[in-house]
Amino acid sequence: MDLQIATVVYCLLVAALFLGLWRYYDRRDHARFEQERRHAAFHCVRCGHTYAVQGDHETAACPRCAHENARLKF
């Protein structure tokens, strides 16, 4: 194998490795960002406290009085 061809093959393999790592970490970070960004809003019918819970929940306990409340629908 010629030295020039070996160098080109090596550079392409390194570029493919970096491209694969970049794509993996980009997708992972995007998924984490989307998970942190999603919040569900709740209003406690017992104490009147309005609060948010991270994630996609239909019911959640109030942080003040622990009453289970349904999600606010807008």
Domain boundaries, the chain: 1-37, 39-74
- 37 token code pair: 């960004």
Tell me the residue type at 24.
Answer: Y
Rounded CA separation 38/72 (Å): 14
Band of residue 37 on the pLDDT scale cut at 50, 70, 90 = confident
Tens of pLDDT, residue by residue over 38-59, are 888 999 999 999 999 987 788 9
* Closest among 41, 61, 59, 60 to 51, alpha carbons compared: 41
Rounded to two decimals, the pTM is 0.53
